[in-house]
Structures are given as structure tokens and as C-alpha cells.
């Protein structure tokens, strides 16, 4: 997912990590207690989706599930920013406290629809 929402987050002080090509970023069962923002580089999910700089990895799974189901592998060296769940939740709820619940429900519904196809 690419969104200006992420660009508005105060991420300058958040943990960063640089990883090499072929590194698996999200294995099966990794907790969704944080989301990974791809600052630089390129990665591909096992589902075939290619992520570029500025993308958030597996955002639907982050919102809708307790653990990531789709591994993502770096195609190049990548710089990552780890964004905690609470920061995303607090930011989404700033204007309306129902936004977090709605976003999670929509993400889960979409994931279930994809799985049924």
C-alpha cells in the first residue's frame, strides 16, 4: 500500500534497519505488532505483489490479522522503518475513534474474500 497517511506519521525517531537482498522480512506467524515501511529498495510478497520505496508491507494483514501470513522477500538491499501498531492506531483515531475498528474490519473482510476465491 502506498499512502500519504504514512508520510504524515512522525517516523523520524522510529527504529530503522538495512537488510540485504534475499532477506525474508515477514515469515509465517510473525506478530502484527508493527508494520514495515519500505523506505528504499524493492521487495516481493509470496503472493507476487511487488513493493517499492514508499510502500507499507502487507498492510491488510497488519490491520486484519494477529500475525502475518504472507512472507515478503527483499529483491534488493532495503532500508526499513518499523512502525508500532499503537502509533498507527492513535493516528487513525485522532479524528474518529471508530476509524481503527472500521479499517480492521474492512481489511479482514477483504482478506477473507481473497481466500475464498
**pLDDT class of 60 with cuts at 50, 70, 90:** very high
CA distance 117 to 7: 33
Domain housing 103 = 4-116
* pLDDT classification of 38: cutoffs 50, 70, 90: very high
DSSP secondary structure string for all residues of 50-107: EEETTBBTTHHHHHH-SB--S-EEESS-EEEEEEEHHHHHHHHTTT-TTHHHHHHHHH
In CATH, what number is assigned to the domain containing residue 97? Answer: 2.60.120.10
Condensed to tens digits (0 to 9), the pLDDT of residues 65-98 reads 999 999 999 999 999 999 999 999 998 898 889 9
Query: Is residue 29 classed as helix, strand or coil in its secondary structure?
Result: coil
Q: For 93-111, what is each residue's pLDDT tens digit? A: 988 899 999 999 999 999 9
Domain count, the chain: 1
Amino acid at each position: 500500500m502506498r499512502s500519504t497517511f504514512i508520510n504524515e506519521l512522525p517516523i523520524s525517531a522510529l527504529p530503522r534497519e538495512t537488510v540485504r537482498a534475499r532477506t525474508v522480512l515477514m515469515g509465517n506467524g510473525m506478530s502484527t505488532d508493527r508494520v514495515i515501511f519500505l523506505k528504499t529498495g524493492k521487495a516481493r510478497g509470496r503472493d507476487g505483489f511487488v513493493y517499492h520505496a514508499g510502500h507499507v508491507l502487507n498492510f491488510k494483514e497488519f490491520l486484519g490479522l494477529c500475525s502475518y501470513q504472507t512472507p515478503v522477500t527483499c529483491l534488493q538491499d532495503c532500508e526499513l522503518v518499523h512502525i508500532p501498531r499503537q502509533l498507527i492506531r492513535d493516528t487513525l483515531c485522532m479524528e474518529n475513534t471508530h476509524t481503527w475498528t472500521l479499517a480492521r474490519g474492512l481489511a479482514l473482510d477483504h482478506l477473507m474474500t481473497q481466500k475464498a476465491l
